[in-house]
Structure 1
């Protein structure tokens, strides 16, 4: 105290210096602690963001299964363990629907096998050339039957996509022949021979492939499989005519949106970054269309001209591309008409074969409101089973322990497991029906004898 007073008398600047020295002496030890606290808070914030973004606090669970209690559903629960087991994605990133979707979009699958098949070319009535790839089974099916998977891929996809290759190889090893549609305009180095490409719900090429398979293999039974947009086409095809369901054992769709109109409306929203996904998908679709620019412009009877292409260049959403280009392939007068007529929503209730509809709760492309469609169907229709996983993203469904995903996904295994169960059900059903008739006849005999 005396030291500070003497400094005050000798120099007017001294008190401030002394005060600063005193402050430094007083607060100096606390400053490092303060900085440590800021660092700790920053680290905690980053960790919190990581936990939230990766959804690490989410628990794993078995899928939610919506169904009516029938003999078939009871049989399926006994025959398909994946319906009651937890789906466990890779621990560090697998609970994020965005990362699952991004990995699917970027690499499709891990270590996809090389397939050996041959390509079929089918000429359509309007001059279009449909193509599909055929892959024979690599062994006998467990039931001994001839069964063919007729597969419709996602938007702008074909048989060379990694997720298709992985799935087909797995099916082949389980005794299934596989036919994979190449969406019109999607395969590289295959030119368009008519002024149109694939659309959201045009079933012409898929119907041609299925018809060819039925004719080429008269004894084969069919398992209809559709991924994303392909799921819409598959369900719409089956619902368009009862004859389309002949020899079809079942239909499986994964990550479809059911209603194009409602799906595109949600694609304009920013929640779950759907507007960003919309922009990315629109950019890919734009490049695909422009790669066929000469065919679309040069062929006769084309509805696409320079005006439509100028709108395409400026498009930033799928809805804009659909309005300027896609709806005009089939002469739809409005975007609303295009979406309504090309959605399976108006056809799926006419499907009588078993339907296995799979979606993921964290799929950033499919709004939660769209999932009420398959839920309502499963609650009303005894042939429909709606399976909703907690994780999986859009066509991801990767499995793994910590970081690296496995080559096979939960989706691949679930489809084949369900198809195997339906094949066994169909093979044994005549025996069950015969035994039931025998029991009824025996009861009648006993009743009459008394």
Structure 2
């Protein structure tokens, strides 16, 4: 009887199947969480100058290895999901005052003003003017966290609320924020300059906000008055170049595109009457807007083409993206500029990072500006889609001594160094156009020696001859 009740032993092959299944699950977990991804200090791209050396010495965090949270911290997608949906544990709620500005076209722009909670380390009056990401505002958790940290370190903060983004503020004209419209941000900056004539400005932009602040500074040199420096976090620099990559599925970019498009549709439709109502006196370009196409849109490009470009009368999506991208304005920024991007950013394709790379290695002797590009190592993105105050960015507020008076001394003009070693075959004499960055000029490829590796980037040289050593300046890090 006992022999009949005994369970027959399974063949050994079943043990092998179970082991294979467990191994497969572990492999998927390791790949999804990027647990094998190494940690490393950020790569830095910059021209060797007195200002650059001063910044790196004063902000050692820029050269330190970033250690993300254990288990989930190496996956940008999981960070995005956790931070975007669950939020930050005990997120701060800084207290501020909401300001209203009536624009010339009848639109009502709003921004929130937060006073400092401590004295700044150098005793100066410094205001951070902050532009959030797409469809974001001062009530978003990453902005609240950033503002709280800045206040405690002696900064006044002014945070723009993108036109139409606040759910409880109605539109007063048939216009919303767009990818590169600087009107509202400029109005906020002018208010700060007028109200606090003694203050100096630090300009900060996240994602789409990074595009807006860089475009604003480059539009006219007058916009750079009283500006100590600018920090751009996780922006894409060129919507035209990003257009094609946004429809690709690698890094789940197409999925994120769908999610952002869905959010934009909700915002636009919540202002349906103010934008498209029969009683509204709207521009001719909005008259032919087909709302059925908006309902069925699955990408930002479809929404931009059907609605967003028409707010400013652009005749095509190409024209809209060209005119509203900051790429063509970057070389006109003369204040110290820090451009921060995550290497694993699912929204900003790596091909777009050639833009800040090329800008950061422009010779300061030929181009009177100083830029540093900080592409943080893989898996350090903390939800730029829904926003996150990067650990790098937050700590940099505390350590960044670029705000001290010494920054205003003229930085040294370094002698240009000849490239060490020839460029890889076929690249040394290649010549191409960089639309927008240096309009009307040709650039050649610069072979950059980065210590253990060599790679080529546009050098931005406008007058150098074509030769294997076409760019005589050399960046070493």
Alignment TM class, shorter chain as reference: 0.7 to 0.9
1:355 aligns with 2:334: no
The alignment status of 1:311 with 2:290, answered yes or no, reads no
Q: 1:421 aligns with which of 382, 387, 401?
A: 401
The corresponding residue for 1:380 is: 362
Deviations 1:259-308 (A, max 9, x none): 01111211111111111111111000000000000100132024435742
Contact 2:276 2:282 in 1 (8 A): no
Q: Deviations over 1:368-396 (max 9, x none)?
A: 10111111111115411000111355544
Asked if 2 retains the 8 angstrom alpha-carbon contact of 1:98 and 1:393, the reply is no
Number of equivalences: 392
CA RMSD, Structure 1 to Structure 2 (Å)? 1.8
Range with bigger deviation, 373-382 or 223-232: 373-382
Mark the CA change 1:321 to 1:429 in structure 2 (over 3 Å): closer, same or farther: closer
- Following TM superposition, by how much is the alpha carbon of 1:415 offset from its aligned partner in structure 2, in angstroms? 4.0
Q: Which residue of 2 aligns with 1:442?
A: none
Residue of structure 2 in register with 1:370 after alignment: 352
TM-score, normalised to structure 2, is 0.79
Q: What whole-Å deviation, never above 9, does each CA across 1:204-230 have from its counterpart, x for those lacking one?
A: 000000000000000000000000000
Q: Which residue of 2 aligns with 1:19?
A: none
User: 2 CA distance for matches of 1:77 and 1:122?
Assistant: 39
4+ residue runs over 4 A deviation = 392-395
Correspondences of 1:31-430 after superposition (within 5 Å):
31-298=10-277, 299-302=280-283, 303-305=285-287, 307-380=289-362, 382=364, 383-392=370-379, 394-396=381-383, 409-417=390-398, 420-424=400-404, 427-429=405-407
CA pair 108-233 structure 1, distance change in 2 beyond 3 A: farther
Determine if contact 1:252/1:415 at 8 Å carries over to the other structure: no
Return the alpha-carbon distance in structure 1 between the equivalents of residues 149 and 355 of structure 2: 30
- Give the distance between the partners of 1:408 and 1:371, measured in 2 at CA: 20
Give the distance between the partners of 1:395 and 1:40, measured in 2 at CA: 35
Larger radius of gyration: 1
Q: Is the 8 A contact 1:148 1:178 kept in 2?
A: yes
CA contact under 8 A between 1:118 and 1:133: conserved in structure 2? yes
Distance 2:389 2:288 in 1: 45
Contact 1:195 1:301 in 2 (8 A): yes
Q: CA 1:62 to 1:361, structure 2 compared with 1: closer, same or farther past 3 Å?
A: same
